[in-house]
Copies of this chain bind each other. A is one copy, B any other.
């Protein structure tokens, strides 16, 4: 059964690729092995064991628990461990003084109550939003306190035991830190830096994929007439751009990861390219948030393209050059921002931004000039009215003006033909109308009115696409500002011109 599904060859290849994708993974694993080996040597050799006795096993525990992927996270855990242990030690000594002076009968009650109290207080405190990042520290405080107090009460030599244990914990921590920092260190700051740059590229890719998708649909629609039932499948599953969107979804869900890296990076000393103290890691998080804000717009674009209604082929092809141009500019700006961050340069981006704005403006003007296309069947309403005073519109539900249908017949024909290949919208409702039939179902006028509403939405989907693109560009302004702020605070070097 299960043995049939287990293919060792495939499995080994997967593991190999996983390791090759990011050799840091292998380095990390080897480092952990080395650290536990080093600390075990302390026990395998006789000398340290003779000094510390069985307490030396705490150094193993410390290494296994403290060793994290990045230097910053290891420091963070070490700090939590150290502070937690110290706090526990101070409490324990204080309480034991009280307990011993309270007499032989009361002593266990004092100890028991203090344990209950410490357990309750630390557990409540670690739920406090700003303290959740020190969760591990509270845990350490709790169990260290219990260990010291209880073993002090039972074994009698609290200070000696506590000190031996503290030394072995310190030895374990030292080994973990030294191995982590000195041998191929993996810096959380570097990871954060790369992660953010990747997100820039992902958003740029997704944006380009979105427009590539309109291309694909265009190409598909170009061979008119043939009936392909697998259309929906093609759109949903196989398009080459889907990976881009999946990656974009990762970007959208990246906040926790960026927060974690930034939190870890704060603990790291200046290193590599991040040479000054108090490097503004939290600015990376802010830039990430603004980038995500831009990505929402891209996801809405995605929705626009995946939606059941598409603008007619003619419309889309009419504005294709402008859309293409604006998108390329926007993607280029994103990539350039990412590259600047990656190289820690402070490019001013004014040229790119200006070019992007002017190409967006061109798209806007083009939509503006050809906007009659978006409302093509409604020329009977186009007589100029003065819209500057409050409009007195007829309520369409009260007074449904019957639209003139005879003029737009040929357009309807095309639409109806295309309809086969478009999703019906809203799919559910169409089914219901099909089933019910009674509610004006046989009435051709009602049907055509529905069709026209659909057409109008189809044309509007282009307007939406454009508006979203423009809004995206507007948000890029904020992104440029955020990156600029980061560049200023992180003292990226000015680009030489």
Contact = CB atoms under 8 A, between A and B. Distances in A.
A381 interface: yes
A122 B379 CA distance: 72
Contact of A253 (B253, B382, B427): B253
A142 B64 contact: yes
A106 interface: no
A369 B401 contact: yes
A41, A69, A353, A460 — which one has the most chain B CB atoms within 10 A of its CB? A460
Interface in A24-53: 25-26, 28-37, 40-41, 43-44, 49
Interface in A133-149: 139, 142-143, 146-147, 149
Contact of A372 (B155, B378, B453, B474): B378
A378 B387 contact: no
Contacts of A54: 54, 151, 155
10 contacts: A32-B120, A36-B146, A43-B154, A60-B147, A304-B467, A365-B449, A367-B460, A376-B384, A379-B384, A460-B466
Sorted nearest first, the 7 A-B pairs with minimum C-beta distance are A64-B143, A33-B120, A464-B467, A33-B119, A29-B124, A300-B300, A368-B456
Interface of A: 18-19, 25-26, 28-37, 40-41, 43-44, 49, 54, 57, 60-61, 63-65, 67, 69, 108, 111-112, 115-124, 127-128, 139, 142-143, 146-147, 149-151, 153-155, 252-253, 255-256, 293, 296-297, 299-300, 303-304, 307-308, 312, 314-315, 317-318, 321-322, 350, 353-354, 357, 360-362, 364-376, 378-379, 381-391, 393, 395-397, 401, 403, 407, 410-411, 413-414, 425-429, 432, 449-450, 452-453, 456-457, 460-461, 463-464, 466-468, 470-471, 473-475, 477, 480
